Amino acid sequence: MRYLLLAALAAASSVCNANTGVAFVHGTGKQTNATADYWTSTFVNNVRGGLPNPANYVVINCDFTKYMWDSAAAGCLAGQLTTFINGKGITRLIVITHSNGGNVMRWIMSNPTWDSRYPNIIAKTVRVNALAPSSAGTPLADAVINGNVFEGALGWLLGYQNDAVRMQQTSWMASYNANYLYGTSGRPALPKAFRSVVGTDVDSAIWDSDSYCGGYAENVGLETTQNWLNSCSDGFLNCSSQSAAGSVWFQDKARMRGSEPLSHNQSRRACFGLDTILRTDMGS
C-alpha cells in the first residue's frame, strides 16, 4: 500500500512539474500566417487559454502543398516543433492537426529514423488531436488530379494539382498506409495517441445561422461536393477516411452544441463549442 501511495505521489508530482504546450498544425496549403488565414485568432486564443501557461503555443506555418515527407512539409514541421520545444522547455506536447496536417504529423510518428529531430518530438508528444484528418485520402483529390470539373470548383479548398493533393488520392493513401504509415488497420500502432474528431455532415441552409460559422459560401461549396461522397462526410472527407488512423475521439453531433455537424471548414474554427472542448483538453 505504501509503495502504491508513493507511486501515485510521484505521478502527480510529474504532472504538476510538467510544462505543457500546444502546436496548431494546418492542412493542405502553403501558410505564412496560419493564425489569421487558416485557424483564426479566436480559435487559437480560446484553445490555448486552457493551458497552465497560455503562452506555450505555436502556430505552424509550412508548405503542405508538398508530399508529407518533403523537407518543406515534415522537415519544416519538425524544425518549428523542435524550436518550440527547446525554446519553451516543453515536456508535454499536445498537437492539434487539421485535415492533411494529420498525415504530416503521422509521417513523423511513423518514421523516427528518417530525421534526427523526430525522436525527441515523439518523446515529448502526449497526443495528437486530429480534426477531420484525411487519413485515407478523398475521392475529391482523385477528381482534381483527373482534371474534371472539380479542379475549378475545389481550387479554394485543395489548391490545384500539387503534390499534397496527388498524395491524398485514395489509392495513394492506401499504399502509404500499408507501407510507410502507422495507425491504420493491420499496421503497427502509432507511438502516441492519435485521436480524430469526425465531421459527419454539412449544413448550408440560408435561413440557418449555424450555416454561416466558418463561412457560408464555403459551406455551400462543401454541401455541393458532398454529393460525390458518402452520406457520412464533411463535404471533403468521408467519415471512413477521418476514422482510418488511430482512434475516434468523437463524432461531431455527439458533442457539438445543438448536435450540429462540423463541415470540413468548421472543424478548424470556433464553431458550436469545438474550441471549448479542445480548451478543456489542454488541462488533462
* 3-class DSSP string for 69-113: CCHHHHHHHHHHHHHHHHHHCCCEEEEEEECCHHHHHHHHHHCCC
Give the pLDDT of residue 6. Answer: 42
Q: Which domains does the chain have, with CATH numbers?
A: 19-281 (3.40.50.1820)
Give the pLDDT of residue 4. Answer: 46
Indicate the pTM of the whole model: 0.92
Residue 65 grid coordinates: 502543398
53, 19 Cβ separation under 8 angstroms: yes
Cα–Cα distance measured from residue 42 to residue 271, given in angstroms and rounded to the nearest whole number: 10
Cα–Cα distance measured from residue 208 to residue 94, given in angstroms and rounded to the nearest whole number: 34
Residue 1 grid coordinates: 500500500
Give the pLDDT of residue 161. Answer: 75
Phi–psi pair at 98, nearest 5 degrees: -135, 135
Give the pLDDT of residue 225. Answer: 86
198, 252 Cβ separation under 8 angstroms: yes
Q: Give the angle subtended at the CA of 243 by the CAs of 254 and 280, to the nearest 5°.
A: 50
pLDDT per residue rounded down to tens, the chain (284 residues): 454 444 444 444 445 579 999 999 999 999 999 999 999 999 999 999 999 999 999 999 999 999 999 999 999 999 999 999 999 999 999 999 999 999 999 999 999 999 999 999 999 999 999 999 999 999 988 888 876 655 555 555 556 678 999 999 999 999 999 999 999 999 999 999 999 999 999 999 899 888 999 999 888 888 888 888 999 999 999 999 999 999 999 999 999 999 999 999 999 999 999 999 999 999 98
Alpha helices, H only, the chain: 2-17, 34, 41-48, 76-88, 101-110, 118-124, 139-146, 150-153, 155-158, 163-167, 170-179, 216-225, 239-242, 252-255, 274-281
Cα–Cα distance measured from residue 97 to residue 130, given in angstroms and rounded to the nearest whole number: 5
166, 145 Cβ separation under 8 angstroms: yes
